[in-house]
Structure 1
């Protein structure tokens, strides 16, 4: 997905068109679309979503209850309006199809405020739990994620997919904090675990990113076949160079089985492509060191990219982190569910197997159980991806290079509360 977003960001400004001319088309969706109504409301209310306090739930940031209360007071009207939007989260929202929703230019201008409003509600859910209503806070955060899924259903809009994944990631951080620090009655925990298995997993951005990478590599192979080094750059017309962000090992491994037939067709082995790729990776890393100013242009799409992914990284990696947060939040909830049933937290993770872990979501890529228990090692492994549990695991423990990452458990409430 970030591949696509960076392409959007370097698209010549004149090809983006007049953003203000696009906006009425989006507002027209508001007749039968709660999101459109919220956009129209934002037009008359100066909320940018850029207040730094809105980011206090992000990794590496310090939680500040006083600052949280202050911004909740200041933006109470925005919070109330966003809750009205989410009241319709379970309904089917209507979207207009057609060229006005084209991927590469016709995007809505209110992405930052919507993301900021979602962060506001995530903060409110944590404060609700801290004031004595952890179940209410957990369910409120859960409701934000359900609502963000409607953003992802905006046909043709990759930016919406990206914002949806970002909202989900931040709100999962709130849910994880609540589950870590508070005890619950059984029903809200069971309800949220059930929803956790039904969330729209962010595989669409991932799929698009891989598709873009595949096209880029295919062009690279064609360049190798003709000794034309300029041919590798970009599968999309109208852009001089494909500025892309990749995870080198993962990408090479994932794409190899698709690309080897292409290499065979031109009589080339894997090594030339591998060497070329390594050279390009060095160029990519140089670009990342200067991100975002050298990559993102001063246009609405570029601005949106900066607001959602503020550091240079692969959005496939960001999606992996979100899936990791899904799983880790599920583990916390499974621990709390065990505590409800038995009056105490389990001494070992294998006490969660199979009754509690079997209730957690399946792996979005393989449809298998997302978590794999290894009793001999005393480690809970996620299935399928390198570093998938790096969204903040309980004592992250690497298994081996280019393999998986597991989590282990200290066995008491204090150990749970200490984890960030």
Structure 2
């Protein structure tokens, strides 16, 4: 009785909760698609058939044709199911409703993309560019469908990583193998059909908000075994007093609302969401736990918004690279003086650099044979090479201060020689 009285006094001193926020526009809507349209189950089977994940990574990092062939033979079943999944028009993962939702299937997605990349490289080295390009395009489709689907944010980000694996594979094919003008034109048409929009990211943010909302509701209703762990009874009574349900949900609603607004803005117009660290004020407001939860989560969300721009810029670089190769094939290997020479014969229009201010096409240095993007400061830095890619004459891509190259660019899959 005394404990309950103390808790009541504490609640009165800290005030009561606010009313629930108007957050209907932030609630995720999950509409299941027909099973025969969805490749998820086939991908599940592919993940279960994977063997020697470590060897897959080793082959990517230190290429060996013999070891690559062995890996593909060992994973023939995984590749078969993966390709069956790619034949389905959609890729929808199960609905994610809480932090305890099982997402283990994502651990195999990147490995499957890398495995398909290895198989694609083997096809290319054996002279079958059609199969090599088809597989690489499937990898891009694998990733972009995850990015455009209504899964969780981690699903969206894994999709982005898979998309880049496919992009890098095509980079290497275009650099390393002679291709006719007809082949290059056909490849550009296929690449032009790849669309990664903000809609999938918006769905992912709404899913994350819904998860946060559900977790807060669980905690404040004393159902505290959300992590499948036993909560001591005394703690089960204290915790709800240290968190205000509607105040906490309102914090998340304000943040996710701002993040959704950011998805409609260009990179340089986006607002960086700042979060104050919980302190004495949080205790006084009686929402220390709620503000702590909010403060832990939000910093990880800011950089996620820019990843679509990075992926689309990578796609833009690839299309321009294909156009440059077409130009050089038709002009005795001469390099264009400017990218405008590629329009409209080799590419219908020059892709825009989302990181430039004001909006402008991506940059090109004939002298350094590079395509590059300006940095978030809007300064044209001249396209200096990455340390990992200081191969004379190579065409590489670079963002200044925008992205860690080790995350987006896989040096082992990039060209080791100029465009042929």
**Contact 1:53–1:71 under 8 Å retained in 2:** yes
Aligned to 2:101: 106
**Contact 1:47–1:113 under 8 Å retained in 2:** no
Give the C-alpha shift of residue 75 in structure 1: 0.5
Aligned to 2:77: 77
Aligned to 1:36: 40
1:162 to 132, 154, 157: 157
2:172 to 169, 177, 202: 177
Distance in 1 between the 2:397 and 2:74 partners?
43
Aligned to 1:145: 140
Give the C-alpha shift of residue 47 in structure 1: 3.5
Distance in 2 between the 1:371 and 1:350 partners?
9
Q: For residues 175 and 218 of structure 1, do their structure 2 counterparts lie closer, same or farther at Cα, with a shift above 3 Å needed?
A: closer
Q: Secondary structure of 2:49's partner?
A: coil
Q: Secondary structure of 2:296's partner?
A: coil
Q: For residues 138 and 29 of structure 1, do their structure 2 counterparts lie closer, same or farther at Cα, with a shift above 3 Å needed?
A: same
Give the C-alpha shift of residue 40 in structure 1: 4.9
For each residue in 1:275-300, what CA deviation from the matched residue of structure 2 results, as whole angstroms up to 9, or x when unmatched?
xxxxxxxxxxxxxxxxxxxxxxxxxx
Aligned to 1:335: 324
Give the C-alpha shift of residue 155 in structure 1: 1.5
2:315 to 315, 326, 342: 326
**Contact 1:151–1:160 under 8 Å retained in 2:** yes
Q: For residues 397 and 194 of structure 1, do their structure 2 counterparts lie closer, same or farther at Cα, with a shift above 3 Å needed?
A: closer
Q: For residues 177 and 186 of structure 1, do their structure 2 counterparts lie closer, same or farther at Cα, with a shift above 3 Å needed?
A: same
Distance in 2 between the 1:36 and 1:402 partners?
36
Q: Does 1:372 align with 2:363?
A: yes
Q: For residues 87 and 344 of structure 1, do their structure 2 counterparts lie closer, same or farther at Cα, with a shift above 3 Å needed?
A: same
Aligned to 1:382: 373
Q: For residues 391 and 333 of structure 1, do their structure 2 counterparts lie closer, same or farther at Cα, with a shift above 3 Å needed?
A: farther
Aligned to 2:248: none
Gaps of 5+ in 1: 1-25, 247-312, 405-415
Give the C-alpha shift of residue 108 in structure 1: 3.5
Aligned to 2:68: 68
Rg larger in structure? 2
Give the C-alpha shift of residue 176 in structure 1: 0.7
Distance in 1 between the 2:402 and 2:108 partners?
39
Distance in 1 between the 2:114 and 2:138 partners?
13
Matched residue count: 301
Q: For residues 333 and 36 of structure 1, do their structure 2 counterparts lie closer, same or farther at Cα, with a shift above 3 Å needed?
A: same
* TM superposition score normalised by structure 2: 0.54
Q: For residues 378 and 153 of structure 1, do their structure 2 counterparts lie closer, same or farther at Cα, with a shift above 3 Å needed?
A: closer
Give the C-alpha shift of residue 93 in structure 1: 5.4
**Contact 2:196–2:312 under 8 Å retained in 1:** yes
Gaps of 5+ in 2: 1-29, 199-258, 377-385, 404-414
* TM superposition score normalised by structure 1: 0.54
